[in-house]
Copies of this chain bind each other. A is one copy, B any other.
């Protein structure tokens, strides 16, 4: 469904704070706090929560408790809890705890694939193909992230044709969703336009999710441009939790779910999340990690008190 403005009337938000947010925290968050956080996100109406990552324990120690956390989180009816799975070993662990949805990772630049995945891009695409085959056997839903789809911290701008070529190969592998990540938070609406123009001839809007970081404040502007292209799946993190180790010491991270929700409410686009309960979850995790969160809407205390919430 589209509005008269050409924007979708409904958007699916993928809440990534428990994985992409917490994995960048300096301090170790207690497993019980993670479980409580995810349960609060579910209670706020989040229908898609990337819950954790089954990465090697020594690579992301913050999420080394994935095998304990995942089985304990309360799975809300109709909600989904994808987990990041970088390897076959990770997939086995995900299956052992009965995960139904997984997320895989590749990258759009050789330097980033090398630094982050210790693979060439071609080898990482082989890994993805093998993992998708295994996942299909287990009837899992599969998303694939394309990291640094706009800007690489080592190589600079990534040309859309490069991403298009990778996505063409991914589409042959047959994932359920491809997520285009602005890993360093450097994209502006012009790059979003150019990339989506290149990709929407390959597959319709429902194939693509956008994962923006708000490092340079452009995330919501990029969402606007994506909406105008019919995209209706967006990643964000409660409170704006998270950051990118490549983005510098003072830099802020993921697009905040509060800010995204506020924008969508203003546009009259439904999303199913209750802003006040979401902020309860952010307040909880902010205390657990011991520092304030950067979401502007969260800091402002939500909507102006004179404006009633009109969604839901």
A interface residues (Cβ-Cβ under 8 A, vs B): 5, 151-157, 184-191, 193, 214-218, 220-221, 223-225, 247-248, 250-252, 256, 259, 262-263, 265-268, 292, 295-297, 299-301, 303-304, 306-308
Would you call the interface of chain A mostly helix, strand, loop, or mixed? loop
Residues of chain B within 8 A of A187, CB atoms compared: 266
The smallest beta-carbon distance between A217 and chain B, in angstroms, is 4
Taking A189-B263, A216-B297 as given, write out 5 further A-B residue pairs in contact, using a Cβ cutoff of 8 Å, ordered by the A residue number: A186-B303, A188-B263, A217-B217, A248-B301, A251-B301
- Which residue on chain B has the smallest CB distance to residue A269? B190
With A214-B296, A221-B221 as contacts: A304 and B263 at CB distance below 8 Å: no
- Across the interface, A251 reaches (CB within 8 A) one of B220, B251, B300, namely B300
The smallest beta-carbon distance between A17 and chain B, in angstroms, is 16
The oligomer's copy count stands at: 2
Q: List 26 A-B contacts (CB under 8 A).
A: A5-B193, A151-B304, A151-B307, A153-B304, A153-B306, A184-B304, A186-B307, A187-B266, A189-B224, A189-B263, A189-B266, A191-B266, A214-B296, A215-B300, A216-B262, A217-B217, A217-B262, A217-B295, A221-B221, A247-B300, A248-B301, A250-B292, A250-B301, A251-B299, A251-B300, A252-B300
- Among A184, A221, A263, A299, max chain B CB count under 10 A is at A221
Contact call B263/A221, Cβ cutoff below 8 A: yes
Residues of chain B within 8 A of A223, CB atoms compared: 221
Contact call B250/A185, Cβ cutoff below 8 A: no
The smallest beta-carbon distance between A300 and chain B, in angstroms, is 4
- Which residue on chain B has the smallest CB distance to residue A5? B193
Interchain CA distance A127-B86 in the complex, whole Å: 66
Residues of chain B within 8 A of A265, CB atoms compared: 188
Contact call A216/B156, Cβ cutoff below 8 A: no
Contact call A188/B266, Cβ cutoff below 8 A: yes
- Which residue on chain B has the smallest CB distance to residue A185? B300
Contact call A267/B217, Cβ cutoff below 8 A: no
Residues of chain B within 8 A of A185, CB atoms compared: 300
The smallest beta-carbon distance between A102 and chain B, in angstroms, is 30
The smallest beta-carbon distance between A106 and chain B, in angstroms, is 20
Residues of chain B within 8 A of A224, CB atoms compared: 189, 221, 224-225
Contact call A218/B263, Cβ cutoff below 8 A: yes
